[in-house]
Amino acid sequence: MNPFSSESAWLCLTATAVLGGMLLCKAWSSGQLRSQVVCLAGLWGGACLLSLSLLCSLFLLSVSCFFLLYVSSSDQDSLPVDQKAVLVTGADSGFGHALAKHLDKLGFTVFAGVLDKEGPGAEELRKNCSERLSVLQMDVTKPEQIKDAHSKVAEKIQDKGLWAVVNNAGVFHFPIDGELIPMTVYRKCMAVNFFGAVEVTKVFLPLLRKSKGRLVNVSSMGAMIPFQMVAAYASTKAAISMFSSIIRQELAKWGVKVVTIHPGGFQTNIVGSQDSWDKTEKEILDHFSKEIQENYGQEYVHTQKLTLPVMREMSNPDITPVLRDIQHAICARNPSSFYSSGRMTYLWICFATYSPTSLLDYILRNHFTPKLMPRALRTTS
Residue-wise pLDDT tens digits, 309-362? 777 777 888 999 999 999 999 999 999 999 999 988 999 999 999 999 999 999
Residue 354 a catalytic site member: no
What is the pLDDT at residue 126?
96
pLDDT of residue 371: 77
Contact at 8 Å (CB) between 263 and 341?
A: yes
| Angle in degrees, CA 105, 172, 371, rounded to 5 | 125
E strands, the chain, where?
85-88, 109-114, 134-137, 164-167, 214-218, 257-263, 338-341
Q: Which residue among 233, 296, 300, 346 is the active-site one?
A: 233
Contacts of 261 (CB under 8 A, 6+ apart): 216, 217, 218, 219, 322, 325, 326, 329, 338, 339, 341
- The four Cα atoms 49, 55, 56, 59 give a dihedral, to 10 degrees, of 120
Q: Per-domain residue ranges for the chain?
A: 7-75, 85-367
Side by side, the strands of the sheet bearing 338-341 are: 134-137, 109-114, 85-88, 164-167, 214-218, 257-263, 338-341
What fold, for 85-367? Rossmann fold (3.40.50)
pLDDT at 26: 46
Q: What is the pLDDT of residue 65?
A: 58
Dump pLDDT digits (tens) for 125-162. 999 999 999 999 999 999 999 999 999 999 999 888 89
Count of Cβ atoms closer than 10 Å to residue 38 Cβ: 13
pLDDT at 277: 84
Q: Which residue positions in the chain have pLDDT lower than 70? A: 1-76, 379-381
Q: What is the pLDDT of residue 278?
A: 86
Planar angle of CA 182, 186, 187, nearest 5 degrees: 115
Radius of gyration (Cα) for the chain, nearest Å?
A: 24
Cβ 168 vs Cβ 99: under 8 Å: yes
- Residue 191: the pLDDT is 98
| Sign (positive or negative) of CA dihedral 322, 123, 208, 212 | negative
- pTM value surpassing 0.85: no
